[in-house]
A and B are shown apart, each in its own frame.
Chain A
């Protein structure tokens, strides 16, 4: 878990040059996609410290069942012992940059155990990231169930 925390820290602190070049855009998109993967891993290992570095204090999180959560509620749900995500597999993921804002849309497949029962979800998600003081932070995340 400490290793993951370090990876997230590294991803967040790589010096960021806000320019309009294609190379910079590509670098930002790659960085954000790496942060998405770090997020998935943090959920699997319940590393809420790493998650705190990825999500903005005012983040809005909408669960696949429509539940609206703030950052504290979301972190609480990840830490909860009643849910254990065993595998989160990204099937597709694309980042779209709008200057200091990025949208990531994709599909992931999650298996795990909730309240003692196994589950399998396939969800389409949209995450919105903003560049703040040189770091990309997620300000909104939403998932919608799709057919398996």
Chain B
């Protein structure tokens, strides 16, 4: 694909893009909660890399497999902010996830940074990292 330089005229305004990306973040959380692998597949770039809260490095395939097998009851985002850098957006925020693992309930809260790029007319996530924080 042809990469546009940062100064290139974008097809979107900053505020529109920011709102769109935050909506995509919520769609991502929803997809994780309801195990919608198809929806998640469209949100993540094929080269997507994820650093899980325990430090594991995961590819897109690993993340999709994880979504299928996990038992997430609630996944919500809080305090999200999107910053645009040309055709790239950096989202910082806090996630809160509740679920059951190995028969035991868990609650996890983490601070994340997601990186999105505008590629072929849509926004896709290329990276995500989460760091645990106190509940």
A-side residues, CB < 8 A to B, are: 18, 20, 58, 60, 62-66, 68, 96, 98-101, 103, 105, 123-126, 128, 130-132, 139-140, 142-147
B-side residues, CB < 8 A to A, are: 2-6, 47, 49, 51-55, 57, 83, 85-88, 90, 92, 110-111, 113, 115, 117, 126-127, 129-134
Which A residues lie within 8 Å of B3 (CB)? 20, 98-100
Contact A60 B90, CB 8 Å, known A98-B126, A103-B115, A126-B113:
yes
Can you report 10 residue pairs joining A to B where beta carbons are below 8 Å apart?
A: A96-B47, A99-B4, A100-B3, A103-B126, A126-B49, A130-B88, A132-B6, A139-B85, A143-B131, A144-B130
With A and B bound together, what is the CA distance between A46 and B114 in angstroms?
28
Please name the residue on chain A nearest to B1 by beta carbon. Answer: A99
**Contact among B5, B47, B132 with A100 in the assembled complex (CB-CB below 8 Å):** B5
CB distance from B109 to the nearest CB of A (A): 9
**Contact among A65, A103, A130, A145 with B86 in the assembled complex (CB-CB below 8 Å):** A130
CB distance from B131 to the nearest CB of A (A): 5
With A and B bound together, what is the CA distance between A94 and B30 in angstroms?
31
